[in-house]
Amino acid sequence: MLPNYYDHVKEHENTLITKFFGLHRIKLRGGRKVRFVVMGNMFCTELRIHRRYDLKGSTIGRCTSKEKISQNTTLKDLDLSYEFHMDKLLRESLFKQLALDCMFLESQGIIDYSLLLGLHFRAPEHLKALLDTPDASIQENSSVDGVNSQGEPVIPPKGLLLVTHEPSSVDTAPGPHIRGSTLRAYSVGQKEVDLILPGTARLRVQLGVHMPAQANRKLSQDEPESAEVELFEVYDVVLYMGIIDILQEYNLKKKAEHAYKSLHFDPLQISVVEPKLYAKRFINFLEKVFPADRN
């Protein structure tokens, strides 16, 4: 796989597939040999990552016990309650590269890979509700005239701004992400863009790095059938993402695992499926996570 991996990464500078920088071996005292791999860090950013998700597109066993959730927990598919809406061209660039990367992984017989997704919320104060019980979150987040039940101000999203890219204003060196070109945005006349975070920074927008979006979460209602409108929470977020765990082949062991689990669960929803189906299901799931705008 290594020669083909090298060719793919070299040909597609914006690939989302994790970067391998080296395989090393050291010899310890006593003669023991230790091997390790140096890989790119998807979340190497000056912004804090408030939420992390490992997304495969499978539904069997893809949730996290609420008792185990903390700010540093990597959550799974069924834990994700958001849709992410982004600029039209940014989304097109994302899915064009996802298709190329999944086609490559399918050709190599690879399965079990994930999209590692990191979220930076521009109003992280709201995240406390996600760690509390439902009753507590309702009490703490209920507000009147911009003040919550404790008399503290409710901080709204601070906003994100896309502007025309200026190389002199941002660091254009490859950096730890090694993600290639600056992306173009439809909302800025299809020009290359930077992301301005008011009062924080000006960042170069690359595929999977510093990508702005709106995170929408549908609010549950006691009697949805009687509701006249659907209510959503909307947050401004900065996204970081990449495809990880790309070394698992669909070998004889995995085929046996698929056969066994298919006796107990829906064979189309378990994690272990053949590469073509895995790639198709993976992209179909992400199209729901990053839906196209209707207008």
Question: Domain-by-domain residue ranges, the chain?
Answer: 2-129+208-289
Angstrom distance (rounded) from CA 50 to CA 96: 27
**Residue 35's pLDDT band (cuts 50, 70, 90):** very high
Which pLDDT tens digit goes with each residue over 116-162?
999 999 865 545 544 443 343 333 343 333 334 444 433 344 578 88
pLDDT confidence of residue 144: 37
Strands (E), 107-231: 114-121, 143-144, 147-148, 161-164, 184-185, 191-197, 201-204, 211-218
Q: How many CA atoms lie within 13 A of 41 on its CB side?
A: 7
Q: Which are the contacts of 208, defined by CB distance < 8 A and separation ≥ 6?
A: 16, 42, 94, 177, 179, 239, 240, 241, 242
Residue 275 has what pLDDT? 94
How many angstroms separate the CA atoms of 54 and 112, rounded?
11
pLDDT confidence bin for 174, thresholds 50/70/90: low
Mean pLDDT across the chain: 82
Averaged pLDDT, 176-192: 83
d(Cα 162, Cα 236) in Å, to the nearest integer? 13
Greater pLDDT, 134 or 115: 115
**Highest mean pLDDT out of 99-113, 174-188, 189-203:** 99-113
Taking residues 207-220, what's their average pLDDT?
87
Q: What does the pLDDT read at residue 199?
A: 75
Q: How confident is the model over 216-238, as a mean pLDDT? A: 70
Q: What is the pLDDT of residue 152?
A: 40
Confidence category of residue 168, pLDDT binned at 50, 70, 90: confident
Residue 234: strand, helix, or coil: strand
Task: Please return the burial class of 200, using the count of CB atoms within 10 Å of its CB with bins 0-12, 13-18 and 19+.
Answer: middle
CA 202 to chain centre: 21
CATH number at 2-129+208-289: 3.30.810.10
Joined tokens for residue 231: 């209510």
Which region among 80-94, 144-158, 204-218, 221-235 has the lowest average model confidence (pLDDT)?
144-158
pLDDT digits (tens, 9 = 90+) for 47-80: 899 999 999 988 887 888 877 777 788 999 889 9
Q: Is the pLDDT of residue 257 over 80?
A: yes
- Hey, what amino acid is at 171? D
Average pLDDT score over residue span 281-291: 95
Show the DSSP H helices in the chain as ranges. 2-11, 88-107, 128-131, 134-141, 252-262, 275-289
The pairing of beta strand 51-55 with beta strand 74-75:
parallel
Please report the pLDDT score of residue 104 as a whole number.
Answer: 97
- Is residue 148 within 8 A of residue 154, CB to CB? The reply is yes
